[in-house]
Structure 1
Amino acid sequence: MATSAAWRGLAGFQWLLLALLLGGGLALLWFRPSGAAPVAAAVAAIAFLAISAWRVLLVIVSTRSRDPVPSETSVLPRYSILVALHDETEVMSQLVERLARIDYPPDRLQGLLVLEAHDHATIAAALAAPRPDWLEVFVAPSGTPCTKPRALNCALSHVTGDLVTVYDAEDEPHPLQLREAAARFAGDAGGRLACLQAPLRIRRGRRGADASPFVDRQFAAEYASLFETILPGMARLGLPFPLGGTSNHFRVDVLRAVGGWDAFNVTEDADLGFRLWAEGWRLGVIGLPTWETPPGGLADWLPQRCRWLKGYMQTWGVHTRRPWRLGARGAFALVMTVGACLGSAALNGPSLAWVAAGVLVAVMAGLPPETPLLAMSVLVLGAASAWLSCAIGARRAGVPYGPIDMIGAPAYWALQSLAAFHAGWRLVHEPFAWDKTRHRRDAATAEAPVYAALDETAPNRLSAGHAAAPQPVA
């Protein structure tokens, strides 16, 4: 149970680390009370400067040209698609239409719409939808916890493919994404590649009463930073990373060998990336994306972000019980992804409030605001590195990100602190509760991806075999 979020206690190593931190802090307060606050501030500042430098490094590393994709083999491997659904009647027909566009030999393809036994409305909608022959309805038996990873684990034993991918209800995967992933796996000379992550890209947000242009644009830029710079950079450096909740492609035998997904972790994807690494496997990325629609207004964004951060807390807790299992490089990656995300989310709001309060008090007193060099360095370099990562990622993903978005970004970062504190409370009181994100059918006028010529990241053979190989045009 030590490798699952089901066990909520602290391991011996975590107790030891906590005792050392508390003991060191108390000793500093006892012997040098006047120096405690400056030391804490300096440590925090240095940590955030290191994170900023790391983010810039990933931007630089990710700009290097990607490795060419090997040509497809004559016989493609069998591929399975899993889509875990709950209360998704509104988008069922849209989802089936999008899955039907996937370009892969039907006789080599298996699809499972994974449904909960009590969700009668979604089951009826799935059975009524005009599905291709390879797409089946799978009803997971009742059980607890009622989470997406538990449903996926139920379906995993029925998977017949050599490779498997996971999609979400709102996804529109690139029709050739499976072919690219299959070619990547086939070209893995070392045989240690277990998972490939496709980039997730955000379409323009929906219109209407539930729309929030500010949240939509910031969310799209945040996704672009993660999937176009951070994850490709870490993959090129040969480091593990938290997987996205959708569009990750696995070797089925490896996935079964590590026990599938942790049913008790509400970001099972983040946990699985590091669990694969701990077992000696490697992660990579591919180029052909999956398009999604942003969650909508704050009422939809906040529960989703709360669940993500709660799952990151679970993932951090699980993998710091025995961090030596990850090795030095894996532990470093855990700190710089999961740890940095949690720290930033918790401190962004209070830090910005402190800066704003200091400036306001100084202005009201008629004095120039104090600008300590270290604090200003953290503020300027931290914001600049975040803006740079978002701007480069947005350009690659074809989403808008301009000066107005940069000015508004700190307000979006502060909102994440609200989600972080809520996530901490939920972790204590409802650790396994799944905050469902409502998915709505896209309007007929929504900006669907336009497909043009295939780029260099796709399998070489496809350029000759498919006249209209898809790639989005912004």
Structure 2
Amino acid sequence: MGQIAFLGIAAWRLLTVMVRLRHLAEAVETPAASVLPRYSIVVALYDEAAILPHLVERLANIDYPPELLDGYLALEAHDHATIRAARALTLPDWLHILVVPPGSPTTKPRALNHALSIARGELLTVYDAEDAPDPLQRREAAARFAVEDGELVCLHAPLRIRRVHKGRDRSPFLDRQFAAEYAALFDITLPAMARMGLPFPLGGTSNHFRVSALRALGGWDAWNVTEDADLGFRIWRRGWRLGVLSRPTYETPPGELAHWLPQRTRWLKGYMQTLSVHTRSASGMGWRGWAALALTIGSALASAALHALSVAWIGIFFLIALLAQHLPSTPWFGLGVLLSGAAASILTTAIGARLANTPFGPRDMLSAPLYWSLLSLAFAHAFVRLIAEPHRWDKTAHRPDVAREESAMILEPLVADAGRAAA
């Protein structure tokens, strides 16, 4: 049964590729909205004093009427360093410092909920400290919401990984694999699922919401450490839809293993929480909701749990064959399942990387199983942490990726693109 399930996951990945490529040429520019709504922007920050100037610089380049923007830097009351850094900066008139009152849990979703309670926009988007969003992203989202019916309540922008300052590239293997993984998810899987009308787990940034719907849902689950993944399925349960945008947000990778592992541990722990919550009740899910939950959250957890064992099994098989100079007794079906799953995953990643203009060459393909094995390490950590510290938030360290004057390497192409579109 397990082998059939993994063949199903491989077939699912190939299906998402076919759906994405089939509709790729059909993508058309959404007409500009005739009347732009007020737009709230929220960035929940903790221990981000170093990167804050870069974030503010990028937010200031947003192409949207300033009088219609309503932005908040949501800061924890005990994070004195980031509060001081924020107050020392010259902020755009529409961007405000919002100190979240002390309370429990001290998590990003709790800070977002506090900002949601006072946000004045009809639409709202969330960013992270390291984000460099396309300046025209809000205009695209506003136009999509204007022409779609009220059942579409969330649009997800693609996230693309870029490390500009090569001198700080201490972990090229992890960075390249992380970027390619993002490309497969945000340029293949999520657009295909949106096209098929299926729910999907949201990423933690660059989600654009109708504020009325978000408030009706009660905002984010403050106790779930992947509140974004949970929210995607709560939207579906209410009979609403999710979609995707074309204009991306650029992010930097977490870097070396000491930063990558806690982040991935938190994600997998949150996936376990989300799976536990959404399997308690069948209300509003339907077979399509259950299928989407299994093919995203479920398959991510199952794959992470088994990657290292699968890679080790294949390695031992070929090592024995090499030493004995003949093939041992071979479970060909099982071996075929593993190889077909790996091939489908690499194909999906390679095509996604091409669409996202992310490097993923033959050397990256060959080393991908090593990266997958690290997911098993994160899974083991997540399982232990779910039992010992279920609601602890493992903070990802963000550092400036570029010197401030070098940040134009990211910003100038985006601003130029915005200018061309406006013209």
- The reply on whether 1:273 has 2:232 as its aligned counterpart is yes
- Name structure 1 gaps, 5 residues minimum: 1-42, 468-474
Tell which deviates more after alignment, 301-310 or 379-388: 379-388
| C-alpha contact 2:135 2:415 (8 A) present in aligned 1 | no
TM-score, length basis structure 1: 0.85
Structure 1 equivalent of residue 160 of structure 2: 201
Task: Identify which range, 363-372 or 243-252, moves more after superposition.
Answer: 363-372
Q: 1:54 aligns with which of 5, 8, 12?
A: 12
Give 1:118's match in structure 2, choosing from 53, 73, 78.
78
- The residue aligned with 2:53 is 93
For residues 153-172 of structure 1, the aligned pairs below 5 Å read: 153-172=113-132
Matches of 1:299 and 1:206, distance apart in 2: 19
Tell me the CA shift for residue 69 of structure 1: 4.3
Question: Which residue identity is paired with 1:351?
Answer: S
SS in 1 for 2:153: strand
**1:451 corresponds to which letter in structure 2?**
P
Query: Does the CA-based 8 Å contact 1:205-1:211 persist in structure 2?
Result: no
C-alpha displacement at 1:147, in angstroms? 0.6
**SS state of the match for residue 139, structure 1?**
strand
Q: Distance in 2 between matches of 1:300 and 1:111?
A: 29
User: 1:310, 1:423 within 8 Å by CA — same for their partners in 2?
Assistant: yes
* Partner residue in 1 for 2:362: 403
Please state if 1:337 is matched with 2:288: no
Q: Which amino acid aligns with 1:419?
A: A
1:137 is aligned, of 72, 93, 97, to 97
SS at match of 2:118: coil
Indicate yes or no: 2:242 matched with 1:283.
yes
Amino acid paired to 2:69: L
TM-score by length of 2: 0.95
Aligned-partner SS, 1:112 = strand
Given that residues 324 and 331 in structure 1 are in contact (C-alpha distance below 8 angstroms), is that contact kept between their aligned partners in structure 2? no
**Structure 2 counterpart of 1:78:** 38
**Distance apart, 1:224 and its partner CA:** 0.1
Task: Tell me how many residue pairs correspond in the alignment.
Answer: 418
C-alpha distance in structure 2 between counterparts of 1:361 and 1:373, whole Å: 16
Q: Rg bigger for which structure?
A: 1
Cα-to-partner distance string for 1:379-409 (whole Å, 9 max, x where unaligned): 2211111111111111111111110000000
- 2: CA distance between counterparts of 1:451 and 1:128? 28
- 3-state SS, counterpart of residue 225 of structure 1: helix
Identity of aligned residues (%): 61
- The Cα of 1:191 is off from its aligned counterpart by 1.8
After superposition, the C-alpha distances for 1:403-445 in whole angstroms (9 at most, x for unaligned) are: 0000000000000000001000000000000100000112235
Return the offset for 1:298.
0.6
* Correspondence for 2:273 among 310, 314, 318: 314
Secondary structure of the residue aligned to 1:325 is: coil
Q: What corresponds to 1:448 in structure 2?
A: 410
Opposite residue 142 of structure 1, the aligned amino acid is: P
Q: Report what 1:181 is aligned to.
A: 141
Letter of the 1:271 counterpart: D
The change in CA–CA distance for 1:452 and 1:209 in structure 2 (over 3 A counts) is closer
Moved more, 323-332 or 345-354: 323-332
> What's the Cα RMSD here?
1.8
Alignment check: 8 A CA contact 2:33 2:139 kept: no
Give the CA deviation at 1:259: 0.5
Cα distance in structure 2, aligned partners of 1:235 and 1:265: 24
Q: Is the 8 A contact 1:91 1:441 kept in 2?
A: yes
**Contact 1:268–1:311, Cα closer than 8 Å, also in 2:** yes
Provide structure 2 residue ranges, at least 5 long, that are not aligned to the other structure: none
Amino acid at match of 1:156: L
Q: Aligned equivalents of 1:453 and 1:115: distance in 2?
A: 28
Which residue number in structure 1 is paired with residue 108 of structure 2?
A: 148
Query: Secondary structure at 2:284's aligned position in 1?
Result: helix
